[in-house]
Amino acid sequence: MSEMVGGYSEAQPATPEIQRIVDEVKPQFENQANRKCDVFKATEYQTQVVAGTNYCIKVQVSDVEYVHLKVFQSLPYENQGPSLVSFQTGKTRDDPLTC
């Protein structure tokens, strides 16, 4: 199955690079969601190439709760860190990844 032009890739297991991005946006999430997370572990992700990259990342925040994060990473020459675009809370491990 080919991916739709401009669409997200198939979901893949999270990598150390994806965890690094999640670690960088954790303070943004905690501030916007008004909560602290002892657990913040990326489990899977999708990418969408735009003028930079959008990441849709499933993140475990407790034993049973997950969140879906949409994160934008600008092009390397712009020298900016990842930014949290939006998030969805109240997800489970089995929910399909959506952003």
Specify the CATH number for the domain of residue 68. 3.10.450
**pLDDT higher than 70, residue 2:** no
Rounded distance between C-alpha atoms, residue 44 and residue 88, angstroms: 15
Which structural domain, as residue segments, surrounds residue 78? 12-91
Element (H, E) at 23: helix 16-33
> Does the residue 2 lie in any domain?
no
pTM: 0.90
pLDDT in tens, 56-89: 999 999 999 999 999 999 988 888 999 999 999 9
> Does the residue 57 lie in any domain?
yes
> Does the residue 1 lie in any domain?
no
What pLDDT is stored for residue 5 in this prediction? 55
pLDDT in tens, 14-56: 999 999 999 999 999 999 999 999 999 999 999 999 889 999 9
Closest to 55 measured CA to CA, from 95, 25, 92, 93: 25
When divided into structural domains, the chain yields a total of 1
What pLDDT is stored for residue 79 in this prediction? 87
> Does the residue 34 lie in any domain?
yes
